[in-house]
């Protein structure tokens, strides 16, 4: 496992959108991080379509893929990446999945040849593993751990240009952490167990990708960090304190980074809001989503997330009709025009001006937007690499650094906090600073405590 021990960027100001230290080329002419931002359209079939296998395959290929590509051509966009996030049925019916992957690949190759538009498809396979069973063993064919690996093989063998996953390792603990406001549990579930699971998965996934000429794109902590952010919500929401959500995001960066250390090279998955921190460390290209993901969820970082993206995504939109065409046609237009603005800024050397405007418009909107601002994201990234090779120390360092950044901003009157958010932040800092320095002691204490509190937590799922 190759640990990152230094930052890819010497200072935060070196980071901007459309450029990465390690650009990646794949598909039919796609070059990510090489000087322009590329739209990445994300979609889902209409509810009920999955009841008929042929109808589902037809909707993915003859309708969704066709609509996205032809709208991009019609609007004169030079590049488009599609993202097919497999629904759970596709993770179980691999014959169907193979047909969809292969048909999409054939379609985009034909359209690339016909219209000279650069195209690629990212396939994000589902993680259907169950925590009350063994999630990591070399299970018999038909079990969920085996199906996950077989899904990756099917995707890569049939033409996926990029492979990604939103893995769920540690989620049984983070679910408890979120509902109980327990930052130690979150650190254990996401920062420690999640990191172990990501390394275990991506060692295998990278090998599958490399054998098939597929780009290993990476993971995201959507299952835990995004759920925390969505529950923290907007200004009317109070289910989770936004200071808790912000520190959860810091921890998630150390977890997502493990995919890159196991061989993934990006572009990172769009729903990984922590990708700005990962890009600062690795220099690898990243997809991001923000204001264009309002079709899927509400958040407080809408403009800010465009600050250093290499692909700009809409998050998943259900396929259905709108006044302007189908939903995927409308959202292809939305993200494509935003990319055109960013690319014009690059060409006119105004990219850092636009980057700063994106960031400043949301910087003080919430604690999470504050720590994801590119200058603070860089600081959190540096705290991770400076912490050494221990996945525990890296996650704890990211959390403490993020908490101190928020507290300093509050005390300096740069960021407002409610009384509950402030009290939660104080408790988080106390809890983190009281944790043992010794990793083994931390793990032993957590196994004893959460082994009782979370009945379906099984240490053997993580080799413990």
Residue 171: pLDDT band with limits 50, 70, 90: very high
* Range 391-414 burial, b when 16+ CB lie within 10 A, else e: bbbbbbbbbbbbbebbbebbeeee
Residue 138: pLDDT band with limits 50, 70, 90: low
| Residues 208-250: tens digit of each pLDDT | 999 999 999 999 999 999 999 999 999 998 899 999 999 999 9
pTM value is 0.97
**Rounded average pLDDT over 323-343:** 98
Question: Do the Cβ atoms of 343 and 76 come closer than 8 Å?
Answer: no
Closest CA to 256 of 276, 280, 245, 272: 272
- Max CA pair span of the chain: 62
Q: What is the per-residue pLDDT for 137?
A: 66
Q: What is the per-residue pLDDT for 313?
A: 98
Percent of the chain's residues with pLDDT above 70: 99
Q: What is the per-residue pLDDT for 144?
A: 82
Burial class, 109, CB count within 10 angstroms (exposed 0-12 / middle 13-18 / buried 19+): middle
Sign of CA dihedral 148, 177, 446, 440: positive
Spell out the domain ranges in the chain: 12-462
Phi, psi values for residue 268, rounded to 5°: -60, 155
Q: Which of 71-75, 231-235, 251-255, 261-265 has the lowest mean pLDDT?
A: 231-235
Phi, psi values for residue 265, rounded to 5°: -125, 5
Q: What is the per-residue pLDDT for 132?
A: 85
Mean residue pLDDT across the chain: 96
Which are the contacts of 396, defined by CB distance < 8 A and separation ≥ 6? Answer: 187, 191, 387, 432, 435
Phi, psi values for residue 370, rounded to 5°: -65, -45
**Rounded average pLDDT over 412-433:** 98
Q: What is the per-residue pLDDT for 2?
A: 86
Residue 1: pLDDT band with limits 50, 70, 90: confident
Question: Do the Cβ atoms of 89 and 100 come closer than 8 Å?
Answer: no
Taking CA atoms, 59 is separated from 54, 86, 100, 123, 328, in Å, by 9, 13, 10, 16, 12
Pairing of the two strands 311-313 and 287-289: parallel
What ranges in 239-390 are assigned the alpha helix state H? 242-261, 275-282, 327-347, 351-362, 367-372, 374-386
Percent of the chain's residues with pLDDT above 90: 94
């Amino acid at each position: 496992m190759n640990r990152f021990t230094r930052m890819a960027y010497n200072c935060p100001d070196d980071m901007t959108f459309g450029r990465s230290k390690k650009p990646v080329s794949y598909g039919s002419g796609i070059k990510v991080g090489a000087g322009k931002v590329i739209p990445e359209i994300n979609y889902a079939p209409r509810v009920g379509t999955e009841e008929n296998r042929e109808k589902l395959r037809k909707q993915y290929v003859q309708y969704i893929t066709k609509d996205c590509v032809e709208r991009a051509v019609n609007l004169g966009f030079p590049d488009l990446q599609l993202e097919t996030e497999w629904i759970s049925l596709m993770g179980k019916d691999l014959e169907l999945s193979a047909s969809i992957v292969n048909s999409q690949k054939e379609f985009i190759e034909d359209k690339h040849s016909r219209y000279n538009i650069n195209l690629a498809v990212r396939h994000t396979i589902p993680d259907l593993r169950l925590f009350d069973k063994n999630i990591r063993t070399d299970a018999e064919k038909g079990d969920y751990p085996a199906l996950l690996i077989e899904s990756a093989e099917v995707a890569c063998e049939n033409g996926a240009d990029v492979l990604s996953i939103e893995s769920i390792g540690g989620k049984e603990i983070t679910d408890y952490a979120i509902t109980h406001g327990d930052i130690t549990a979150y650190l254990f579930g996401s920062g420690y167990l999640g990191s172990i699971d990501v390394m275990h998965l991506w060692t295998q996934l990278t090998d599958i990708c490399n054998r098939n000429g597929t780009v290993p794109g990476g993971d995201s902590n959507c299952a835990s960090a995004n759920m925390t952010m969505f529950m923290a919500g907007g200004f009317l929401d109070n289910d989770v304190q936004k200071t808790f959500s912000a520190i959860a995001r810091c921890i998630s960066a150390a977890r997502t980074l493990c995919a890159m250390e196991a061989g993934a090279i990006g572009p990172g998955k769009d729903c990984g809001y922590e990708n700005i921190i990962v890009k600062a460390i690795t220099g690898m290209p990243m997809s991001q989503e923000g204001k264009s993901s309002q079709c899927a969820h509400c958040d407080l970082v809408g403009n800010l997330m465009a600050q250093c993206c290499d692909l700009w995504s809409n998050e998943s939109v259900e396929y259905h009709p709108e006044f302007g065409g189908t939903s995927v046609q409308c959202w292809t237009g939305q993200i494509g025009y935003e990319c055109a603005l960013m690319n014009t800024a690059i060409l006119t050397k105004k990219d850092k001006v636009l980057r700063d405007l994106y960031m400043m418009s949301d910087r003080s909107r919430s604690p999470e937007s504050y720590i994801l601002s590119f200058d603070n994201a860089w600081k959190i990234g540096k705290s991770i690499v400076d912490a050494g090779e221990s996945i525990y120390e890296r996650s704890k360092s990211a959390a403490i650094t993020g908490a101190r950044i928020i507290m300093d901003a509050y005390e300096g009157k740069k960021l407002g906090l409610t009384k509950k958010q402030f009290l939660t932040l104080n408790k988080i800092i106390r809890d983190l600073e009281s944790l043992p320095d010794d990793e083994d002691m931390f793990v032993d204490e957590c196994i004893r405590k959460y082994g009782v509190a979370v009945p379906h937590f099984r240490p053997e799922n993580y080799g413990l």
